[in-house]
Amino acid sequence: MSEPDMPQKAPYPVDLEPGTYYWCSCGKSNNQPFCDGSHVGTDFSPLQFTVTEAGTKYLCGCKRTQTPPYCDGTHNKL
């Protein structure tokens, strides 16, 4: 599998309401950190995730987290 693009070496803090979202795993989306369909033709697919409580979530921006879609600090080692 190929490496994803790295839109930024920091998490995206986003205020989310309960619902279903699609996190960009390829790093190509122009709507980071969410999918906009830019993965078409790549080895990547968006990751569907559900938020049950409203609040600020920190979504991975480097696309290398071990806990997708949430930041785990991996960007600090890159």
Q: pLDDT tens digits for the chain (78 residues)? A: 689 999 999 999 999 999 999 999 999 999 999 999 999 999 999 999 999 999 999 999 999 999 999 999 999 999
Give the pLDDT score at 1: 64
In a domain, 20, yes or no: yes
User: pTM value?
Assistant: 0.95
| Sign (positive or negative) of CA dihedral 16, 18, 65, 32 | negative
Question: Considering the domain boundaries, does residue 6 fall inside one?
Answer: no
Domain assignment present for 52: yes
The total number of structural domains in the chain stands at: 1
Under 8 Å between Cβ of 43 and 25: no
H or E element at residue 32: none
Residues 6+ apart with CB under 8 A from 42: 2, 26, 28
Kindly state whether residue 51 falls inside one of the protein's structural domains: yes
Domain containing residue 42: 12-77
